[in-house]
């Protein structure tokens, strides 16, 4: 069982202690991330792009997620393991429960993450009612990239910013335990972080969130194609390898020097 619990994460928010979350897709990277001191291991459907070589996360299936979650869960001793519900695996509350059951029972996840705002509130409510820890995800939604027309910052316009704040509050009220904010303006991310009682984890959302998450391949500089501008390479130029890079990133999050 994970020793990092939701109670611990909420206490970290209350005390202003930054939370560190990294993606992991196998036992080796999960072990290294734990040794570096991460609090949360996210088995992200980002594996579709960085592991499987797809252009988006859409082709990732629930079977893929169960398999990779099991690899990570076997290595996790302290960190909490969250697994993404992949594209269209939570279109209804009933489907969300069935998908979460597989990720937790077969994959060994401690909780699940799902993308969306008001459209997933009912699914969050149902999952929370059955005792499933839920991490919501707002801002840039990679599973909706074909609808969004590309990977772009979200929430720049006043109406869009207001919608994101309203959706964040609705998700918390529905029972979400955590929230990831991806690629939203730093000022907006800070406002949402202050407004919510649950921990808010940012990615490309400035330094005002309660914690940070990155795709582990990004911070190691080994992501195929163009690396996101908000993810500096923590490996190149150092002689202490992957373990050193992960420790540097965790230290930077704890000291709030990342993101700059």
Residue 226 covered by a domain: yes
Alpha-carbon distance 187 to 208, whole Å?
8
Residue 259 covered by a domain: no
Sequence-distant (≥ 6) Cβ neighbours of residue 37 within 8 angstroms: 20, 247, 250
Residue 163 covered by a domain: yes
Residue 67 covered by a domain: yes
Query: What CA dihedral angle connects 130, 102, 202 and 178, to 10 degrees?
Result: 10
223-248 pLDDT tens trace? 888 788 888 899 988 899 999 999 99
Residue 181 covered by a domain: yes
Q: Which residue has the higher pLDDT, 145 or 121?
A: 121
pLDDT value, residue 106: 98
Q: How confident is the model at residue 59 (pLDDT cuts 50, 70, 90)?
A: very high
User: How many independent structural domains does the chain possess?
Assistant: 1
The DSSP 8-state label assigned to residue 138 in this structure reads: E
63-95 pLDDT tens trace? 999 999 999 999 999 999 999 999 999 999 999
DSSP string for 165-194: HHHHHHHHHHT-SEEEEES--HHHHHHHHH
For the chain, the average pLDDT equals: 95
pLDDT value, residue 109: 98
Query: What CA dihedral angle connects 83, 88, 91 and 95, to 10 degrees?
Result: -60
Range of the domain at 39: 6-254
3-49 pLDDT tens trace? 899 999 999 999 999 999 999 999 999 999 999 999 999 999 999 99
> Quick one: CA dihedral 101, 48, 227, 25, positive or negative?
positive
Q: What's the maximum distance between 2 C-alpha atoms anywhere in the chain?
A: 49
pLDDT value, residue 2: 62
182 is catalytic: yes
Residue 164 covered by a domain: yes
Alpha-carbon distance 81 to 166, whole Å?
28
Residue 1 covered by a domain: no
Q: How confident is the model at residue 130 (pLDDT cuts 50, 70, 90)?
A: very high
48 HSE (CA, 13 A, CB side) = 21
pLDDT at residue 219 greater than cutoff 60: yes
Structural Rg of the chain based on CA atoms: 17
User: Of residues 115, 172, 182, 191, which has the active-site annotation?
Assistant: 182
Q: How confident is the model at residue 178 (pLDDT cuts 50, 70, 90)?
A: very high
Residue 17 covered by a domain: yes
Alpha-carbon distance 249 to 22, whole Å?
10
pLDDT value, residue 227: 80
- pTM to 2 decimal places: 0.96
pLDDT value, residue 35: 96
Go through 185-218 and write b for each residue having 16 or more CB atoms within 10 A of its CB, e for each that does not. beebbbbbbeebebbbbbbbbbbbbbbbbbbbbb
pLDDT at residue 1 greater than cutoff 60: no
Here the CATH number for the domain that contains residue 234 is 3.20.20.60
Question: By C-alpha distance, which of 238, 230, 173, 182 is closest to 209?
Answer: 182
146-167 pLDDT tens trace? 887 677 788 899 999 999 999 9
């Amino acid at each position: 069982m994970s020793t990092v619990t939701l109670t611990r994460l909420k206490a970290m928010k209350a005390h202003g202690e930054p939370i560190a979350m990294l993606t992991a897709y196998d036992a080796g990277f999960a072990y290294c991330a734990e040794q570096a001191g991460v609090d949360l291991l996210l088995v992200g459907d980002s594996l579709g792009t960085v592991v499987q070589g797809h252009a988006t996360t859409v082709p990732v299936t629930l079977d893929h997620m169960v398999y990779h979650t099991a690899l990570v869960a076997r290595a996790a001793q302290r960190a909490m393991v969250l697994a993404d519900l992949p594209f269209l695996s939570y279109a209804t509350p009933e489907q969300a429960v069935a998908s979460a059951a597989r990720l937790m029972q077969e994959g060994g996840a401690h909780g699940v993450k799902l993308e969306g705002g008001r459209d997933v509130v009912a699914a969050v409510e149902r999952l929370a009612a059955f005792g499933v820890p839920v991490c919501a995800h707002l801002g840039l939604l990679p599973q909706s990239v074909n609808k969004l027309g590309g990977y772009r910052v979200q929430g720049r316009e006043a109406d869009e910013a207001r919608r994101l704040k309203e959706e964040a509050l609705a998700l918390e009220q529905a029972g979400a335990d955590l929230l990831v904010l991806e690629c939203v303006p730093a000022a907006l991310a800070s406002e949402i972080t202050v407004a919510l009682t649950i921990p808010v984890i940012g990615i490309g959302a400035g330094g005002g969130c309660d914690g940070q998450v990155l795709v582990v391949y990004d911070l190691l500089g080994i992501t195929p194609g163009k690396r996101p501008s908000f993810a500096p390479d923590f490996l190149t130029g150092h002689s202490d390898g992957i373990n050193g890079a992960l420790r540097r990133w965790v230290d930077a999050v704890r000291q709030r020097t990342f993101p700059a």
